[in-house]
Structure formats: structure tokens, C-alpha cells
């Protein structure tokens, strides 16, 4: 039976005036230090903050950063069972009383709680998961922090989101994950970002603060870098650097700003991976991409108890125009059935595109999650059936043994019995 969370289930349907109250905003702002302590306690967090100059520019920080691997022994890590070690490599000096748009990378199920643990002020979580709202009891912790929930597949709820974020930003910060879902792409340090944070920053005048996380799964350590605030209004970008050949208009100006934020995040990820993540050899793995996709999928199911097939919504990511065009071409050409003469004239190799389509499907995170979900569901049904049959068999055996062990009941004829007397 799937038990739904009480009291908060319909939070995503509340309008801008009712998804939170002014009192709720005030209390969360004033008691955020208590929330962080509770969050640390419930997540077994040990937070280690590196010493650094908090007024350096990004260029100054990276120039002085060593590329040498840092041994685990350098950090006072907790040795407790189920320890949750968090190393904050950089945290800039943020203005007291100012509200920011914290933009996080999305790499694992626990990155939300990890970032809420280290942000120095209350930041409402932007959560596009109605499934978690309804069924994941850990969401109560996010509710205590403050959150704006919406159904990513519902146009009305998506349209209502900006006004809700603007209301919160009047008094406190927000935390949003503009990649859309967990980044399981081996070739992209940060996936393309949705433009929501940039549009919000332009409208409200608030600065964007990028937060990125790199996870050492083997040693169970999370490394975080919090970058300097970005004032997108004052960015002087050349659109052609990001979108060569595209028209100089507002659409691509905003997209260029999102690309700039993404570049800042990817740079931070690269430097942390360089110092903390052991190198591996591709030749040691038969299929490196499949190995990691299988690992990430299994890790996700270990940490989130999915109740329904909601992966189209939960793992919706933005695709660039080039990615969309490439996928459309591959799927079209792989389905063509041309005669030999046509193949010779066009030079098309349909087998090549069939293989490319297979590769696309193999890397499709949603389909990999869906396949794992139904295989897990099927296995759980089999286990349940085996248990039921085992219990029924045990009852029959015990009942049969009791019957055989009972003494025989003799029925005497009443007349004979009387005569004997």
C-alpha cells in the first residue's frame, strides 16, 4: 500500500497567495539556524569548511588553485557508520540581509539536502516533483525549510511558478536546479540550463549564486563550491561567442547569460574533479557509459522509493536545438527502407543510423529508470507470491501433521455400548 504524505499533498495547486503565508516566510527566515541544525542531525552531516579568502574573484581563485590531488587524510572526516561528509571548498562573502537566487547542479538524490545544509540563509527550495511531495516522507524536512512545488508537466503550474518565486525573493532567497533533473551525462559537466533563473534575475534584480557538487561515491564525500554572485544585468556578453550565426536579439541574449552561468558552474566542477576524483581508464571497462548509467540508476532507486512511473516528469532535461535536430535526423534515417539503387545514389548507410539510434536509447536515462522500475516491480511481485505460497504450504503441512498425530476417534454403537454396561 502506498501511503500519502499528510497536510502537504496539495501544495503544488496553491496559488501565489496561499502556497505559503507571510508568517511562514517570517518564521523560516528567523529560525533558519535551527533548521540547519536539524538538517545536519537528520542527515548525519559533518560539514568541513576550507579556509579561503572570501573576497577573491573567480580568476584569482582558480589561478592560485593547485591541480594536485588532495588526499582524504587532509580532511577531518567523520568515521561514523553512515557518515555524511561535506567539504565546502569555497563560500563567498554574501551581503547580510540580501536575497539571492542559488542555482545548484543536480547530480544525485541527496544534493538538495546537502546544499540546504551549507547555505547561510533561508532559501526556499524549488521542487518540480509532485511524486516526492505525495510519497516521500523526507519532503517534510524540505517543507520545514520552505518550498515551492510544481508539476513540471502541468502548463498552468509552470506558468504560476515565476510569481511565487518573486514573492519569496522579496524577503528571502531561493534554491533552484535549472538542469531540470540529475545529470547522468558522462560528457557534460553541467547540462544545458533552463532560462528561468536568468529571467527571474533580470526581473527582480537579484544576483545568481552558483553552487556545484562533486560526489566521491567510493569514499562517500561530497565536495561543494559556491561561486561569486553573478549580476546578469551587468554582463556584457557577445552572443556570437555562445550562439555563432544567431540573430542578436533578446532571446539569444538571455540564452547567452544562461550559458555563461553554466560555464561558471562547469569550470568549478572541473577543478573539483581534478583534485578529488580518482582517474579511471576507459579500457578497464567493457562499456564505460553503460557501467555508469547502471550505477546511477541503481543508486537512485536505493535512495528514492519510487511508487509510480513518473520518470518523464522527474527526469525532464533541456535539450539544445542541435541535440533535438540530431536526434530527429537519426531516428528518421534509421527508419528509412531504401532500395539498393537509392542507397548507392545517396551514400546513406542505414545500419550506421540504426546503431546511432540504439546508442541514443541506451543513454536515455528515463528509459533506463523505467526499465529498472518495472523489473524491480516484477521481482517484488514474484517475491510476494513466493512468500504467500510458502505461508500457505506451511499452514497445510502443520495442519496435516496435527491431523495425523491425533488419536483415532472410535464410534460405538449405542446398543453394544449399553450391553457391555
Asked if residue 419 is part of any domain, the answer here is no
Mean pLDDT of 218-237: 94
Give yes or no for residue 292 having a pLDDT over 70: yes
pLDDT digits (tens, 9 = 90+) for 42-64: 889 999 998 877 788 998 999 98
pLDDT in the model for residue 231: 97
How crowded is residue 77: how many other Cβ atoms within 10 Å of its Cβ? 17
pLDDT in the model for residue 419: 45
Asked if residue 341 is part of any domain, the answer here is no
pLDDT in the model for residue 375: 92
Residue 363: pLDDT band (50, 70, 90) is confident
Question: SS3 for 86?
Answer: strand
CATH of the domain at 208: 3.40.1130
Per the CB < 8 A criterion, the answer to whether 368 and 360 are in contact is no
**What is the percent of the chain where pLDDT is above 70?**
91
Mean pLDDT of 155-162: 95
Give yes or no for residue 199 having a pLDDT over 90: yes
Q: How far is CA 230 from the centre of its chain?
A: 24
The DSSP-derived string for 298-324 is HHHHHH----S--HHHHT-----HHHH
What is the chain's length?
421
Cell numbers standing for residue 361 = 536509447
Q: Which of 12-21, 23-32, 112-121, 282-291 has the lowest mean pLDDT?
A: 282-291
The β-bridge relationship of strands 221-226 and 208-216 is antiparallel
Give yes or no for residue 290 having a pLDDT over 60: yes
Q: How far is CA 374 from the centre of its chain?
A: 20
Distance CA 151, CA 128 (A): 6
Averaged pLDDT of the chain = 88
The DSSP-derived string for 192-257 is PPPSHHHHHHHHH-PPEEEEEEEEETTTTEEEEEEPPPB-GGG----HHHHSTT---SHHHHHHHH
Sign, CA torsion 335/340/346/351 = positive
Asked if residue 32 is part of any domain, the answer here is yes
Sign, CA torsion 391/394/400/402 = negative
Asked if residue 135 is part of any domain, the answer here is yes
pLDDT digits (tens, 9 = 90+) for 52-95: 777 889 989 999 898 899 999 999 999 888 889 999 999 999 99
pLDDT in the model for residue 74: 94
Mean pLDDT of 273-280: 91
Residue 416: pLDDT band (50, 70, 90) is very low
Residue 272: pLDDT band (50, 70, 90) is very high
Give yes or no for residue 37 having a pLDDT over 60: yes
Which of the two residues, 98 and 304, has the higher pLDDT score? 98
pTM for the full predicted model: 0.86
- Host domain of residue 103: 11-279
pLDDT in the model for residue 33: 92
CA atoms within 13 A on the CB side of 21: 4
Mean pLDDT of 138-143: 91
pLDDT in the model for residue 338: 57
Asked if residue 4 is part of any domain, the answer here is no
pLDDT in the model for residue 403: 66
Mean pLDDT of 117-132: 94
> Strands, E, within 56-196: which ranges?
84-90, 101-104, 123-127, 147-149, 173-176
Give yes or no for residue 418 having a pLDDT over 80: no
Which of the two residues, 128 and 320, has the higher pLDDT score? 128
Mean pLDDT of 167-184: 94
Cell numbers standing for residue 398 = 502443520
Distance CA 20, CA 418 (A): 89
pLDDT in the model for residue 344: 57
Number of domains the chain is built from: 1
Asked if residue 397 is part of any domain, the answer here is no
Amino acid at each position: 500500500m502506498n501511503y500519502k504524505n499528510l497536510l502537504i499533498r496539495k501544495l503544488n495547486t496553491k496559488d501565489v497567495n496561499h502556497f505559503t503565508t507571510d508568517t511562514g516566510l517570517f518564521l523560516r527566515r528567523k529560525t533558519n539556524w535551527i533548521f540547519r541544525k536539524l538538517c545536519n542531525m537528520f542527515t548525519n552531516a559533518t560539514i568541513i569548511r576550507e579556509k579561503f579568502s572570501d573576497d577573491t574573484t573567480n580568476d584569482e581563485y582558480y589561478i592560485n588553485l593547485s591541480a594536485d590531488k588532495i588526499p582524504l587524510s587532509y580532511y577531518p572526516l567523520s568515521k561514523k557508520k553512515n557518515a555524511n561528509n561535506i567539504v565546502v571548498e569555497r563560500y563567498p562573502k554574501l551581503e547580510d540581509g540580501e536575497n539571492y537566487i542559488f542555482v545548484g547542479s543536480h547530480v544525485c538524490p541527496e544534493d538538495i539536502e546537502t546544499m540546504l545544509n551549507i547555505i547561510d540563509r533561508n532559501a526556499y527550495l524549488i521542487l518540480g516533483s509532485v511524486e516526492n511531495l505525495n510519497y516521500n516522507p523526507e519532503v517534510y524536512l524540505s517543507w520545514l525549510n520552505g518550498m515551492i512545488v510544481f508539476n513540471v508537466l502541468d502548463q498552468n503550474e509552470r506558468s504560476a511558478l515565476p510569481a511565487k518565486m518573486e514573492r519569496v525573493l522579496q524577503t528571502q532567497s531561493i534554491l533552484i536546479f535549472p538542469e531540470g533533473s540529475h545529470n547522468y551525462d558522462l560528457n557534460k559537466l553541467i547540462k544545458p540550463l533552463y532560462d528561468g533563473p536568468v529571467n527571474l534575475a533580470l526581473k527582480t534584480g537579484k544576483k545568481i549564486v552558483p553552487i556545484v557538487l562533486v560526489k566521491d561515491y567510493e569514499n562517500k564525500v561530497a565536495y561543494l563550491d559556491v561561486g561569486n554572485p553573478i549580476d546578469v544585468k551587468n554582463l556584457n556578453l557577445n552572443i556570437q561567442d555562445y550562439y555563432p550565426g544567431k540573430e542578436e536579439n533578446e532571446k539569444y541574449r538571455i540564452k547567452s547569460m544562461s550559458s555563461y552561468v553554466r560555464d561558471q558552474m562547469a569550470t568549478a566542477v572541473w577543478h573539483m574533479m581534478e583534485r578529488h576524483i580518482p582517474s579511471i581508464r576507459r579500457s578497464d571497462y567493457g562499456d564505460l557509459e553503460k557501467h555508469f548509467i547502471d550505477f546511477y540508476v541503481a543508486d537512485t532507486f536505493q535512495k528514492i522509493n519510487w511508487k509510480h512511473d513518473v520518470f518523464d516528469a522527474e527526469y525532464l532535461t533541456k535539450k539544445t536545438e542541435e541535440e533535438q535536430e540530431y536526434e530527429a535526423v537519426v531516428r528518421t534515417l534509421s527508419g528509412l527502407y531504401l532500395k539498393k539503387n537509392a542507397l548507392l545514389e545517396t551514400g546513406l548507410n542505414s545500419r550506421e543510423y540504426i546503431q546511432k539510434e540504439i546508442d541514443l536509447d541506451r543513454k536515455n536515462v528515463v528509459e533506463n529508470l523505467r526499465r529498472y522500475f518495472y523489473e524491480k516491480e516484477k521481482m517484488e511481485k514474484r517475491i510476494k507470491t513466493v512468500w504467500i505460497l510458502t505461508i500457505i504450504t506451511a499452514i497445510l503441512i502443520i495442519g496435516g501433521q496435527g491431523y495425523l498425530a491425533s488419536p483415532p476417534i472410535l464410534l460405538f454403537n449405542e446398543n453394544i455400548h449399553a450391553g457391555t454396561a
